[in-house]
């Protein structure tokens, strides 16, 4: 099993939901970046349960410690270890799950593959492991911010409730303003209501998260096997519960004709080459074309629900029923928002270094 992503800017994560700690090593960060624990903590706080009914009741401060890689407030080019110790561990709800794989979870695959499986809280397969992504992403975002690149994610749909079309400016302004992380504040209220309704029934619900990248130079990405869209999609699909990713006009492209799909070029008032439309979602031939990059991912409903479900007991090899207790989010979309930003930020920094647009040694 490999737990690393990135070729030149490499993030390796470790830890499990109910183990001692969770975290990440960032290797390949250039020296000279101002970095404090607070920088990472801000991002981790965005990932934390929201203390509302919308979220798991597990109560973790998720306090990060930077153990290495920072000297006198700046990165020094050596590996950055960020670690969060688990505090509020309650494994009691999981003992009945030991031999009974939960539908929609990876339990059955883990056990089949490794024989040994830390089933407590989903072990390393838990959503809690995205703490590592976010630690890596926090460092990547600091680098991106320094060169004017922004990554913004927001929820655009929960079940059949969709946010209205909004300008990038308004999306940026409102995307972190509510617990749903939906920039359309009115839709957000209806989404919240829908989630709580389903939660009451012991059920959960899915949705759609959109990720936007602004400020990218032209030509990021490699044109054959490391296309920017392919690597971004890879990063987003790596997030648990994501079942599909599209870019630009995405699945709608299938129904368009060439003249409808193609984005014609023009010169803007600053004499930059831009496209009139952005059906491509900012990537052509695997490389950024200078337009905003717009991706959407579909997120399945949280598989942990308290409605009884059929499963198979692996020891007895007989069919049985399972009821999942434990503490779970009825909808994972809001908490995927910072994780998606992190995943994307890591890919971008890696590509920027690989393209010679960020110096690999010192900023």
Site for a second copy in 240-299 (CB under 8 A): 240, 243-267, 271, 273, 275-276, 279-281, 284-289, 298-299
Closest CB to a second copy among residues 49, 240 = 240
Closest CB to a second copy among residues 48, 124 = 124
Looking at residue 132, the DSSP 8-state letter turns out to be H
Q: Match 């320094």 to its residue by tokens.
A: 146
Closest CB to a second copy among residues 281, 338 = 281
As a whole number of angstroms, the distance between CA 42 and CA 45 comes to 5
As a whole number of angstroms, the distance between CA 277 and CA 272 comes to 15
User: Judged by CB under 8 A, which stretch of 34-42, 145-153, 180-188, 317-325 contacts a second copy?
Assistant: 317-325
Half-sphere exposure of 242 (CA within 13 A, CB side): 25
As a whole number of angstroms, the distance between CA 120 and CA 98 comes to 8
* Residue 5 makes contact with a second copy by CB under 8 A: yes
Of 184-243, binders to a second copy (CB under 8 A) are 198, 203-208, 218-219, 221-227, 229-231, 233-235, 237-238, 240, 243
Q: How far is the CB of 169 from a second copy (least distance, A)?
A: 25
Q: How far is the CB of 165 from a second copy (least distance, A)?
A: 17
Contact 159, 353 (CB under 8 A): no
State how beta strands 80-85 and 161-162 pair: unpaired
Among 114, 164, 170, 200, binds a second copy (CB under 8 A): 114
CA distances from 291 to 164, 216, 225, 250 (A): 22, 8, 22, 16
State how beta strands 10-15 and 4-5 pair: antiparallel
Encoded tokens for 167: 């300008």
Of 129-188, binders to a second copy (CB under 8 A) are 129, 157-160
Q: How far is the CB of 225 from a second copy (least distance, A)?
A: 4
Of 15-54, binders to a second copy (CB under 8 A) are 15-16, 19-23, 25, 27-28, 31-32
Closest CB to a second copy among residues 185, 251 = 251
Looking at residue 52, the DSSP 8-state letter turns out to be S
Closest CB to a second copy among residues 214, 322 = 322
Give the SS3 label for residue 86.
coil
Number of residues that bind a second copy (CB under 8 A): 149
Closest CB to a second copy among residues 23, 169 = 23
Looking at residue 336, the DSSP 8-state letter turns out to be H
* Residue 84 makes contact with a second copy by CB under 8 A: no
């Amino acid at each position: 099993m490999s737990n690393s992503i990135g070729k030149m800017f490499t993030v390796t994560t470790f830890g499990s939901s109910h183990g001692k700690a969770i975290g990440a090593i960032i290797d390949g960060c250039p020296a000279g970046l101002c970095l404090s624990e607070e920088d990472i903590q801000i991002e981790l706080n965005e990932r934390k349960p929201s203390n509302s009914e919308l979220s798991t009741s597990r109560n973790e401060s998720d306090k990060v410690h930077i153990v290495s890689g920072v000297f006198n407030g700046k990165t020094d080019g050596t590996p950055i270890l960020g670690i969060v110790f688990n505090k509020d561990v309650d494994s009691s709800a999981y003992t009945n799950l030991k031999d009974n794989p939960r539908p929609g979870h990876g339990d059955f695959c883990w056990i089949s593959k490794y024989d040994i499986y830390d089933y407590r809280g989903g072990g390393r397969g838990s959503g809690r492991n995205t703490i590592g992504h976010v630690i890596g992403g926090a460092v990547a975002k600091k680098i991106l911010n320094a060169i004017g690149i922004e990554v913004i994610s927001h929820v655009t749909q929960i079940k059949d409730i969709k946010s209205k079309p909004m300008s990038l400016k308004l999306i940026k302004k409102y995307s972190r303003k509510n617990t749903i992380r939906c920039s359309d504040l009115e839709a957000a209220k209806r989404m919240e209501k829908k989630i709580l309704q389903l939660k009451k029934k012991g059920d959960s619900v899915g949705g759609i998260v959109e990720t936007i990248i602004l400020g990218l130079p032209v030509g990021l990405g490699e044109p054959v096997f490391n296309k920017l869209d392919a690597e971004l999609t890879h990063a987003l699909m790596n997030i648990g519960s994501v079942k599909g990713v599209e870019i630009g006009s995405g699945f709608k492209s299938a129904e368009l004709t060439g003249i409808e799909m193609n984005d014609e070029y023009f010169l803007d008032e600053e004499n930059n080459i831009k496209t009139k439309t952005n059906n491509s979602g900012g990537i052509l031939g695997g490389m950024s074309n200078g337009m905003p990059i717009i991706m959407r991912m579909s997120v399945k409903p949280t598989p942990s629900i308290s409605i009884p479900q059929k499963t198979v007991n692996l020891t007895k090899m007989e069919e049985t029923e399972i009821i999942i207790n434990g503490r779970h989010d009825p909808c994972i979309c809001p908490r995927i928002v910072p994780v998606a930003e992190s995943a994307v930020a890591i890919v971008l920094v890696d590509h920027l270094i690989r393209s010679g647009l960020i110096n690999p040694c010192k900023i």
